[in-house]
Amino acid sequence: MQFPYFDISPSIASGLLFFLSYVFMTLSGLVVGGFMYVLIAQVRGIRSMDPRWEQFARTFSTYIFRIAVLGVGMSGCLLWLVFVSVHPAVAAELLRIFEIPAYAAWLLLLISAVSLFTYINTWSRWRNNILLHLLAGSIAAVGLWVALAVPISAGAFSLTPHFWLNTFSPNMLITSN
Protein backbone atom coordinates (compact mmCIF):
# COMPACT_ATOMS: atom_id res chain seq x y z
CA MET A 1 0.00 0.00 0.00
CA GLN A 2 1.43 3.33 -1.02
CA PHE A 3 1.38 6.12 1.53
CA PRO A 4 1.31 9.76 0.50
CA TYR A 5 4.48 11.72 1.05
CA PHE A 6 4.26 14.32 3.79
CA ASP A 7 6.75 17.14 3.91
CA ILE A 8 6.71 17.68 7.67
CA SER A 9 9.45 19.11 9.79
CA PRO A 10 10.99 16.38 11.99
CA SER A 11 10.57 18.54 15.08
CA ILE A 12 6.85 19.04 14.39
CA ALA A 13 6.32 15.34 13.70
CA SER A 14 8.18 14.24 16.82
CA GLY A 15 6.44 16.91 18.89
CA LEU A 16 3.02 15.77 17.69
CA LEU A 17 3.91 12.13 18.33
CA PHE A 18 5.16 13.03 21.81
CA PHE A 19 2.03 15.01 22.63
CA LEU A 20 -0.34 12.29 21.44
CA SER A 21 1.70 9.61 23.24
CA TYR A 22 1.56 11.66 26.42
CA VAL A 23 -2.21 12.16 26.16
CA PHE A 24 -2.80 8.47 25.37
CA MET A 25 -0.64 7.21 28.25
CA THR A 26 -2.08 9.74 30.72
CA LEU A 27 -5.67 8.85 29.86
CA SER A 28 -4.82 5.13 29.92
CA GLY A 29 -3.35 5.51 33.41
CA LEU A 30 -6.39 7.50 34.51
CA VAL A 31 -8.73 4.77 33.27
CA VAL A 32 -6.85 1.88 34.85
CA GLY A 33 -6.05 3.65 38.11
CA GLY A 34 -9.46 5.28 38.32
CA PHE A 35 -11.26 2.02 37.89
CA MET A 36 -9.17 0.44 40.63
CA TYR A 37 -10.21 3.38 42.81
CA VAL A 38 -13.86 2.66 41.91
CA LEU A 39 -13.50 -0.94 43.07
CA ILE A 40 -11.85 0.18 46.33
CA ALA A 41 -14.66 2.71 46.90
CA GLN A 42 -17.26 0.01 46.34
CA VAL A 43 -15.58 -2.36 48.81
CA ARG A 44 -15.34 0.52 51.28
CA GLY A 45 -19.05 1.19 50.79
CA ILE A 46 -19.91 -2.45 51.48
CA ARG A 47 -17.90 -2.48 54.69
CA SER A 48 -19.08 0.87 56.03
CA MET A 49 -22.76 0.57 54.96
CA ASP A 50 -22.56 4.20 53.81
CA PRO A 51 -24.55 4.62 50.57
CA ARG A 52 -22.45 7.60 49.50
CA TRP A 53 -19.44 5.33 48.74
CA GLU A 54 -21.53 3.16 46.44
CA GLN A 55 -23.04 6.22 44.76
CA PHE A 56 -19.55 7.64 44.25
CA ALA A 57 -18.35 4.36 42.73
CA ARG A 58 -21.37 4.22 40.46
CA THR A 59 -20.96 7.80 39.20
CA PHE A 60 -17.18 7.60 38.85
CA SER A 61 -17.37 4.31 36.90
CA THR A 62 -19.53 5.96 34.23
CA TYR A 63 -16.96 8.76 33.90
CA ILE A 64 -14.18 6.19 33.60
CA PHE A 65 -16.14 4.37 30.89
CA ARG A 66 -16.57 7.61 28.94
CA ILE A 67 -12.89 8.48 29.27
CA ALA A 68 -11.95 4.97 28.13
CA VAL A 69 -14.19 5.04 25.07
CA LEU A 70 -13.75 8.65 24.02
CA GLY A 71 -10.39 9.74 25.42
CA VAL A 72 -8.26 6.62 25.16
CA GLY A 73 -9.90 5.40 21.98
CA MET A 74 -9.65 8.72 20.14
CA SER A 75 -6.12 9.55 21.28
CA GLY A 76 -4.92 6.04 20.43
CA CYS A 77 -6.43 6.23 16.95
CA LEU A 78 -4.93 9.66 16.34
CA LEU A 79 -1.55 8.50 17.62
CA TRP A 80 -1.55 5.51 15.28
CA LEU A 81 -2.71 7.63 12.33
CA VAL A 82 0.07 10.18 12.85
CA PHE A 83 2.65 7.44 13.41
CA VAL A 84 1.63 5.62 10.20
CA SER A 85 1.68 8.91 8.28
CA VAL A 86 5.12 9.90 9.51
CA HIS A 87 6.84 6.48 9.65
CA PRO A 88 4.94 4.02 7.40
CA ALA A 89 7.73 1.41 7.18
CA VAL A 90 8.26 1.41 10.94
CA ALA A 91 4.51 1.12 11.54
CA ALA A 92 4.28 -1.86 9.19
CA GLU A 93 7.18 -3.58 10.96
CA LEU A 94 5.68 -2.86 14.39
CA LEU A 95 2.38 -4.27 13.23
CA ARG A 96 4.15 -7.40 12.05
CA ILE A 97 6.05 -7.83 15.33
CA PHE A 98 3.10 -7.07 17.62
CA GLU A 99 0.48 -8.89 15.54
CA ILE A 100 -0.41 -11.67 18.01
CA PRO A 101 -0.29 -9.43 21.12
CA ALA A 102 -2.46 -6.90 19.27
CA TYR A 103 -5.11 -9.53 18.57
CA ALA A 104 -4.98 -10.62 22.20
CA ALA A 105 -5.27 -6.99 23.31
CA TRP A 106 -8.33 -6.45 21.11
CA LEU A 107 -9.94 -9.57 22.57
CA LEU A 108 -9.15 -8.48 26.14
CA LEU A 109 -10.38 -4.98 25.39
CA LEU A 110 -13.67 -6.38 24.13
CA ILE A 111 -14.04 -8.63 27.20
CA SER A 112 -13.19 -5.79 29.57
CA ALA A 113 -15.56 -3.38 27.79
CA VAL A 114 -18.39 -5.89 28.14
CA SER A 115 -17.46 -6.45 31.81
CA LEU A 116 -17.27 -2.71 32.45
CA PHE A 117 -20.62 -2.15 30.75
CA THR A 118 -22.08 -5.00 32.85
CA TYR A 119 -20.52 -3.51 35.98
CA ILE A 120 -22.04 -0.10 35.30
CA ASN A 121 -25.52 -1.35 34.37
CA THR A 122 -26.08 -3.99 37.08
CA TRP A 123 -25.98 -1.87 40.23
CA SER A 124 -29.62 -2.44 41.12
CA ARG A 125 -30.04 -5.98 39.75
CA TRP A 126 -26.96 -7.44 41.49
CA ARG A 127 -27.62 -5.61 44.75
CA ASN A 128 -27.87 -8.87 46.73
CA ASN A 129 -24.95 -10.57 44.95
CA ILE A 130 -22.18 -8.04 45.42
CA LEU A 131 -19.40 -10.59 44.80
CA LEU A 132 -20.65 -11.13 41.25
CA HIS A 133 -20.65 -7.38 40.75
CA LEU A 134 -17.09 -7.06 42.08
CA LEU A 135 -16.00 -9.95 39.86
CA ALA A 136 -17.29 -8.13 36.78
CA GLY A 137 -15.47 -4.99 37.88
CA SER A 138 -12.24 -6.87 38.57
CA ILE A 139 -12.35 -8.56 35.15
CA ALA A 140 -12.86 -5.14 33.57
CA ALA A 141 -9.96 -3.58 35.50
CA VAL A 142 -7.49 -6.39 34.76
CA GLY A 143 -8.61 -6.64 31.13
CA LEU A 144 -8.19 -2.90 30.61
CA TRP A 145 -4.76 -2.95 32.21
CA VAL A 146 -3.49 -5.80 30.05
CA ALA A 147 -5.15 -4.50 26.86
CA LEU A 148 -3.64 -1.04 27.31
CA ALA A 149 -0.21 -2.50 28.09
CA VAL A 150 0.17 -3.74 24.51
CA PRO A 151 -0.13 -0.38 22.66
CA ILE A 152 1.91 1.37 25.34
CA SER A 153 4.63 -1.28 24.92
CA ALA A 154 4.52 -0.91 21.14
CA GLY A 155 4.82 2.86 21.54
CA ALA A 156 7.78 2.53 23.88
CA PHE A 157 9.35 0.00 21.53
CA SER A 158 9.18 2.50 18.67
CA LEU A 159 10.82 5.28 20.70
CA THR A 160 14.33 3.80 20.50
CA PRO A 161 15.62 5.37 17.29
CA HIS A 162 19.27 4.70 18.09
CA PHE A 163 18.81 1.04 17.23
CA TRP A 164 15.26 0.24 16.20
CA LEU A 165 14.87 2.65 13.29
CA ASN A 166 18.22 1.62 11.79
CA THR A 167 17.91 -2.17 11.97
CA PHE A 168 14.16 -2.90 12.47
CA SER A 169 15.28 -5.69 14.79
CA PRO A 170 13.01 -6.82 17.62
CA ASN A 171 16.14 -8.00 19.46
CA MET A 172 17.24 -4.47 20.28
CA LEU A 173 17.66 -5.11 24.01
CA ILE A 174 19.70 -8.25 23.45
CA THR A 175 22.06 -7.06 20.72
CA SER A 176 22.53 -3.38 21.60
CA ASN A 177 25.37 -2.36 23.89
Q: Where are the domains of the chain?
A: 11-175
Reported as a single tens digit per residue, the pLDDT across 115-155 is 888 887 877 776 667 778 778 888 888 887 887 777 777 66
102, amino acid identity: A
**pTM higher than 0.85, yes or no?**
no
43 — pLDDT class (breaks 50, 70, 90): confident
- Alpha-carbon distance of 106 to 55, in angstroms, equals 31
Sign for the CA dihedral angle at 81, 10, 101, 118 comes to negative
